[in-house]
Amino acid sequence: MKLHALITQFFPENPTRNLKWKHQSRSKNCSNQLWFVLLFSIVMFFILLCFNQLLFENSKGFVSFPGKSTGSATYFPGKLKSSSKDSCLGRYVYVHDLPKRFNEDVIKDCQLITRPTDRFSMCKSLENSGFGPRIRGLNGSELWKNGWFSTNQFMLEVIFHNRMKKYECLTNDSTVASAVFVPYYAGLDLRRYLWRFGVSMRDSSGIDLVDWLTRKPEWKRNLGKDHFFISGRIARDFRRKSNRKSEWGSNFRLLPGSENMTMLTIESGSSKNDIAVPYPTYFHPSSNFQVHQWQEFLRKQNRPYLFSFAGARRSKQKGSIRAEIINQCQASNKLCNFLDCASSINKCDDPATLMNMFRSSVFCLQPPGDSLTRRSTFDSILSGCIPVFFHPGSAYTQYVWHLPKDHNKYSVFISGKDLRVGKIGIKQKLVQFSKEEKQTMREEVIKLIPGILYGDPRSRLDTIDDAFDLAIKGILKRIEILTKRN
Ligand SMILES: *[C@@H]1O[C@H](CO)[C@@H](O)[C@H](O)[C@H]1NC(C)=O
Ligand SMILES: *[C@@H]1O[C@H](CO)[C@@H](O)[C@H](O)[C@H]1NC(C)=O
Ligand SMILES: *[C@@H]1O[C@H](CO)[C@@H](O)[C@H](O)[C@H]1NC(C)=O
């Protein structure tokens, strides 16, 4: 190392040899001089050591952290050893080797996780690391040839797990790990038993998992606070309060062991240990170039529609604003494009139809549906279509690691309440934006694209942080605070 070369250059004898030599010496004068040289060299050595470490921390220890909305823009990993330049320090993740019944076996019999309403069987959705079948022959451009898949949103657990297997800082030594990943397919497991089965079937694998985890030495270190897992279902699905069969979901997140872990989920709820991450979209690029090419393509799009909406009415749902939204869309004199998912279910699941619709629109309406969030939000961002929200829980309070805090920059908010009582109209609100304002917002949306997509694990997006990378940065920072390690 440079430092050692420097020291030997100035002090050919190293300090220990000087010391030895001093004992052999009989000259007092010489001895005093030597003491001085020795002291000086020790002081210099420590100054240089400190200096070296400072430089090292600045170049390697701090990683820029986009998308995180807390004041500090830097991330500082936990344990730093001065002797090593290991860029994985503070980023090591240990992945639990779970019994297969918690993941592999869940997807092995893919018919069991397939619902009659699914467009493809889940067996198809499992292809290509969980991205689903490749989309070929999408109209328009060469661009569509690479990286596009018919992705089912519930596959996020498999997609994330496959990315995790390729994470650059995996470790088999759990004592150096900053976080512990639990590759449990929570949502897919529940999907097998959500409809026809009683509560004990829905709850059993969660109870088994917690029992398995809490016996492990990895658990005892932080009582699970450094553990995390991912769910392709919304958080509410795991918070069934009673044991009535008619009540929805499982009780997994109410189990004492489960509560201590962080759950990454497509939609968080009231628990502070549930953190929302983007729904998977149709685009899983394998190179930076594919991302940039797509962004360029979107910038040049002709967008004949001011706004569009793909969805269905929710007539059974009390207080749903969807009927109002659809009425306003249909009354807008061709400014709005409506794709009715109640009458053309297949089109609403067809990536080509949806992407072509969204990339022809300036704004895309994203009202709550069965729950507050929608996968469509991320499909619209992916199309450079500015999302319009009607509830803060549809995005602003959810994706704090992936979407900017200043939501006026990339989206429009129309209060659902005001819309319902006729205080504001959608068209009336959206026509107010100038051409420049729309362009500036769209550019913000297009810049968000890399951070909301899940790249192909079979290759790497070398300089781009995708949704997975941002989630890992977020989780490491969160766990560092939770466990107060240093
Ligand atoms: C492809 O798109 C163009 C316009 O963008 C349209 O005229 C043409 O009919 C489309 N072809 C197919 C096969 O959808
Ligand atoms: C962990 O151990 C497994 C099995 O021995 C091995 O295949 C894998 O490469 C190891 N991973 C790392 C990150 O050392
Ligand atoms: C969860 O964490 C709390 C402390 O916050 C601890 O008292 C409790 O024992 C933990 N639960 C389990 C199952 O480890």
Per residue in 70-122, pLDDT (tens digit) is 333 333 334 344 456 789 999 999 999 999 999 999 999 899 999 887 878 99
Say yes or no: CB of residue 9 within 6 Å of ligand 1. Answer: no
Q: Which ligand 3 atom is at minimum distance from the Cα of 257?
A: 13
| Residue having the nearest C-alpha atom to atom 1 of ligand 1 | 139
Ligand 3 site-directed mutation target among 226, 253, 260, 483, most atoms within 8 Å of CB: 260
Q: How far does the centroid of ligand 3 lie from the alpha carbon of residue 74, in Å? A: 30
H or E stretch including 435?
Answer: helix 435-452
| Distant-in-sequence, close-in-space partners of 331: CB < 8 Å, separation ≥ 6 | none
Per residue in 381-393, pLDDT (tens digit) is 999 999 999 999 9
Q: Which ligand 3 atom is at minimum distance from the Cα of 223?
A: 14
Q: How far does the centroid of ligand 1 lie from the alpha carbon of residue 306, in Å? A: 21
Q: How far does the centroid of ligand 2 lie from the alpha carbon of residue 192, in Å? A: 31
| Residue having the nearest C-alpha atom to atom 1 of ligand 3 | 260
Q: Is the pLDDT of residue 399 over 90?
A: yes
Q: How far does the centroid of ligand 2 lie from the alpha carbon of residue 166, in Å? A: 12
3-state secondary structure of 308: strand
Mean pLDDT of the 169-189 span:
97
CB–CB of 426/328 below 8 Å?
yes
pLDDT at site 136:
76
Q: How confident is the model at residue 250 (pLDDT cuts 50, 70, 90)?
A: very high
**Domains of the chain, residue spans:** 2-59, 93-280+466-483, 288-452
pLDDT at site 26:
45
Per residue in 417-471, pLDDT (tens digit) is 999 999 999 999 999 999 999 999 999 999 999 999 999 998 877 788 999 999 9
pLDDT at site 67:
33
Say yes or no: CB of residue 198 within 6 Å of ligand 1. Answer: no
Q: Is the pLDDT of residue 1 over 60?
A: no
Pick from 306, 287, 264, 226: which is nearest to 476 by CA?
Answer: 226
CB–CB of 19/38 below 8 Å?
yes
3-state secondary structure of 389: strand
CATH code at 288-452: 3.40.50
Q: Which residues line ligand 3 (CB under 6 A)?
A: 214, 223-224, 256-257, 260
Say yes or no: CB of residue 304 within 6 Å of ligand 1. Answer: no
Q: How confident is the model at residue 217 (pLDDT cuts 50, 70, 90)?
A: very high
Q: Is the pLDDT of residue 202 over 60?
A: yes
Residue in the block written with tokens 């328009």: 140
Q: How far does the centroid of ligand 3 lie from the alpha carbon of residue 217, in Å? A: 14
- The amino acid occupying position 282 is Y
- Average pLDDT over all residues of the chain: 85
Q: Is the pLDDT of residue 231 over 90?
A: yes
Query: pTM score, two decimals?
Result: 0.81
Q: How confident is the model at residue 23 (pLDDT cuts 50, 70, 90)?
A: very low
Per residue in 150-177, pLDDT (tens digit) is 999 999 999 999 999 999 999 999 999 9
Beta bridge partners of residue 64, listed in sequence order: 74
Q: Which ligand 2 atom is at minimum distance from the Cα of 171?
A: 13
Cα–Cα distance measured from residue 92 to residue 77, given in angstroms and rounded to the nearest whole number: 10
Q: How far does the centroid of ligand 1 lie from the alpha carbon of residue 291, in Å? A: 23
Q: How far does the centroid of ligand 3 lie from the alpha carbon of residue 2, in Å? A: 48
Per residue in 253-294, pLDDT (tens digit) is 999 999 999 999 999 998 999 999 999 999 999 999 999 999
Say yes or no: CB of residue 140 within 6 Å of ligand 1. Answer: yes
| Residue having the nearest C-alpha atom to atom 4 of ligand 3 | 223
Cα–Cα distance measured from residue 225 to residue 322, given in angstroms and rounded to the nearest whole number: 40
Q: Which ligand 3 atom is at minimum distance from the Cα of 224?
A: 14
Cα–Cα distance measured from residue 155 to residue 158, given in angstroms and rounded to the nearest whole number: 5
Say yes or no: CB of residue 139 within 6 Å of ligand 1. Answer: yes
Q: Where are the beta strands (DSSP E) in 236-385?
A: 262-265, 274-276, 305-311, 336-340, 361-366
